[in-house]
Amino acid sequence: MKLLLAELTTTETAALLQSQRSCVLLPVGSVEPHGPHLPLGTDTLISEVVARRAAEQLVTAGVAAVVAPTLPYGVTEFARGFSGAIGISPAVLTSVLTEVATAYLRDGFSHVCIVNNHLEPAHDAAIRAAAASQPKGAVSVACPLTRRWARTLSDEFRRGNCHAGRYETSLVMAADAVVLGHDQLEGVRISLSDGISAGKTSFIEMGMTAAYTGTPHEASIAEGESLYERLVTMTVTEVLEGMDQRNIAQ
C-alpha cells in the first residue's frame, strides 16, 4: 500500500476510502531557525518522519492510513530577529487547517490526525482550535506538548531547553539528514518553558543568541531512533483513540 497521498491516483484514493477505518496524517511544521547546525525545516522534517512511521504501524493495525502533503508554515513569533523565521498568524493557521480537515472528512476519510512538532504555544493553540471545530473524534492532534506525552520523552525535553539541542539534533540525525558542527557547540541551559512562564516572547529575549538551547553536542542517532519510537506511539494512540471516540459519537 502506498503511504503518501500525493502519490495515489483518484481511483486508488476511492478504493482506500471504502475502508470504514481510513485516516489521513497531516504533518505540520515551521520555517524557523534551529541554531547554526540544523535546517530551517527541522520541525517539518520531524513531523514528516513521525507521520510516515505512524502510517506504517496503523496500516499493520488494519487502518487505511496515508500521509497528506505537508503544511510547512506555522506561527514563528519566538524566532523573530533571526534570518529564516518565516511564519503565518495563528488565525491563518487555524483557518487553513480547518478548511483542509473539513475537505478530507468531506472526501470520506474517517479521521484526520494533525502531526505537529513545532512547539510554540500559539502555534499549538491554533492547531487545536482547528481540531476542536470538527465533530468529536474526527480530528486529533499528535503533539508532545501535552503532559501525557512530554513525560515519555527525554530529560532535556522535559526541562524545556530542547530547541535545536540534543533532542531535536538527535531526531534530525536519525532522519538521515546531514548535521554539521553540532559537536562543536557549547551547551546552553535556557529553559523555553521557564522563559514563557516568565512572560518572555522571543528567543533573543530569553538569551538564546544563537537560536538554540540544550546540548546538541550530545546528540546521537540511537537517541533519535528511541525518540521516534515514542513520538510514533503518541501519534498512533491519538489516531486510534480519536477513531474510537467518533464511533461512539456516531
The per-residue pLDDT for range 44-67, each reduced to its tens digit, is 999 999 999 999 999 999 999 999
Average pLDDT of span 85-101:
98
- The contacts of residue 5 (CB under 8 Å, 6+ apart) are 13, 24, 66, 67, 68, 69
The per-residue pLDDT for range 195-216, each reduced to its tens digit, is 999 999 999 999 999 999 999 9
Average pLDDT over the chain reads: 96
Query: According to the model, what pLDDT value does residue 1 have?
Result: 75
Phi and psi at 244, nearest 5°, equal: -65, -40
Q: Could you list the residue range(s) of the whole structural domain that residue 62 is in?
A: 5-249
Residues of the chain with pLDDT > 70, as a percent, come to: 99
Average pLDDT of span 142-149:
96
Domain containing 109 — which CATH number?
Answer: 3.40.50.10310
Residue 249 banded pLDDT, cuts 50, 70, 90: low
The per-residue pLDDT for range 11-35, each reduced to its tens digit, is 999 999 999 999 999 999 999 999 9
Phi and psi at 93, nearest 5°, equal: -60, -45
Query: According to the model, what pLDDT value does residue 248 have?
Result: 63
Residue 246 banded pLDDT, cuts 50, 70, 90: confident
Work out how many domains the chain is built from and give that number. Answer: 1
Query: According to the model, what pLDDT value does residue 65 have?
Result: 98
Query: According to the model, what pLDDT value does residue 6 have?
Result: 98
pTM of the model: 0.96
Contact (Cβ atoms closer than 8 angstroms) between residue 34 and residue 40 = yes
